[in-house]
């Protein structure tokens, strides 16, 4: 399977991605073997307000990169169905014109309750696409709010998409979303108010702290293609900036640390949840907190010590 995926076998990769989303141990073992073959792709995260045209912009970026001879992998994060828990696949429908292109791989993932605008499998799926040889990987988040900024932990360059006419434009782009942007795209620029949106973004950038890289603001119309070359040029300029500055190395370390902490958090949570039905386990701690017999801090410390003690016993055995 590893050899087939490294050779670009789409069917084998699709099966692995499905198993990764289901968190099957064999799939996780496969990702470990693929990891040494990663690190070559340029990963772009696309986030922003619901209805800003992220999917249409991604579709246009795919067409541009393919015209330039690049291969493209797309991870489209969709909201989970409240009934089945699966993705609604709306993003994949919008990119249907690329479905038969052998140089494009599009995969929708359900959030499955994962916060931050991404899926729990996003990092692993990006690794698979990277190992397959896709030179550009686009990650489109669900419509996010002010503090759902996890995409910056997975992408080299983060694009924040907004549109004019949202009512309170400042409210739509402030706080965390403003701070994670490497490139701003004011989409649907044919609408009235696009110049005002650009001016307000520029004003907020003037008031905020940023290093050597000041995020450019690009007006686009994803439906007509206007401004798309400028948007791609801004992405490439940021990639070049990262390759030639200490910030690039710092961000690589941040991405590695974020992924490591996420894995540790997942493993610890799984370890705690296995104690749920046991005496003094998760369920008993929950009941004790509700009854005010124990405070949450003491309960968390107790469960943590229990997991650590079990791990030490296993190690000694």
CB 238 within 8 A of CB 230: no
Among residues 1, 6, 33, 35, the alpha carbon closest in space to that of 18 is found at 1
CB 222 within 8 A of CB 53: yes
- Residue 206's φ and ψ, nearest 5 degrees, are -65, -30
Q: What is the pLDDT of residue 2?
A: 93
Query: What's the whole-model pTM score?
Result: 0.85
* Chain Cα centroid distance, residue 310: 33
d(CA 103, CA 50) in angstroms, rounded, equals 28
pLDDT tens column, 248-290: 999 999 989 988 888 888 888 888 888 778 888 899 999 999 9
- The domains of the chain, with CATH numbers, are 38-245 (3.40.50.300), 256-316 (no CATH)
Q: What is the pLDDT of residue 173?
A: 53
How many C-alpha atoms does 294 have within 13 Å on its Cβ side? 17
List the chain residues with pLDDT less than 70: 79-96, 111-120, 143-149, 166-177
CB 125 within 8 A of CB 31: no
* All residues at 6 or more sequence positions from 287 whose CB lies less than 8 Å from its CB, including other chains: none
The first and second tokens of residue 309, run together, are 């003690």
Determine the length of the chain: 317
Largest CA distance in the chain: 69
Q: What is the pLDDT of residue 148?
A: 54
CB 194 within 8 A of CB 188: yes
- By CB neighbour count within 10 A (0-12 exposed, 13-18 middle, 19+ buried), where does 155 fall? buried
d(CA 308, CA 154) in angstroms, rounded, equals 29
CB 160 within 8 A of CB 48: yes
Cα 56-58-62 angle, rounded to 5 deg: 115
How many C-beta atoms surround the C-beta of residue 144 within 10 A?
23
Among residues 246, 179, 248, the alpha carbon closest in space to that of 215 is found at 179
Coil, helix or strand at residue 316 = helix
How many C-beta atoms surround the C-beta of residue 5 within 10 A?
24
């Amino acid at each position: 399977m590893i050899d087939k995926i490294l050779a670009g076998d789409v069917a084998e990769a699709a099966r692995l991605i499905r198993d990764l989303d289901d968190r099957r141990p064999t799939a996780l073992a496969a990702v470990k073997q693929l990891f040494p073959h990663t690190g070559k792709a340029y990963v772009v995260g696309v986030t922003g307000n619901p209805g800003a045209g992220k999917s249409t912009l991604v579709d246009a970026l795919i067409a541009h990169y393919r015209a330039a001879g690049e291969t493209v992998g797309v991870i489209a994060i969709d909201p989970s169905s409240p009934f089945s828990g699966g993705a609604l696949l709306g993003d994949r429908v919008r990119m249907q014109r690329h479905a038969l292109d052998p140089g494009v791989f599009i995969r929708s993932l359900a959030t499955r309750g994962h916060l931050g605008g991404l899926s729990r499998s996003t990092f692993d799926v990006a690794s698979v696409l990277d190992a397959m040889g896709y030179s550009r990987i686009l990650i489109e988040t669900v419509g996010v709010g002010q503090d759902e900024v996890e995409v910056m932990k997975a992408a080299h360059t983060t694009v924040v998409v907004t549109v004019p006419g949202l009512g309170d434009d400042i409210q739509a782009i402030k706080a965390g979303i403003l701070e994670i942007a490497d490139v701003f795209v004011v989409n649907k620029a044919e609408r009235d108010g696009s110049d005002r949106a650009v001016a307000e973004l520029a004003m907020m950038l003037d008031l905020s702290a940023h290093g050597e890289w000041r995020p450019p603001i690009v007006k686009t119309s994803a439906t007509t293609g206007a401004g798309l070359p400028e948007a791609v040029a801004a992405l490439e300029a940021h990639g070049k900036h990262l390759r030639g500055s200490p910030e690039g190395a710092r961000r690589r370390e941040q991405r590695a640390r974020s992924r490591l902490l996420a894995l540790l958090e997942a493993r610890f949570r799984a370890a705690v949840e296995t104690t749920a039905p046991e005496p003094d386990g998760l369920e008993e701690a929950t009941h004790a907190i509700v009854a005010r017999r124990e405070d949450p801090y003491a309960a968390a410390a107790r469960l943590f010590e229990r997991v650590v003690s079990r791990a030490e016993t296993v190690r000694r055995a």
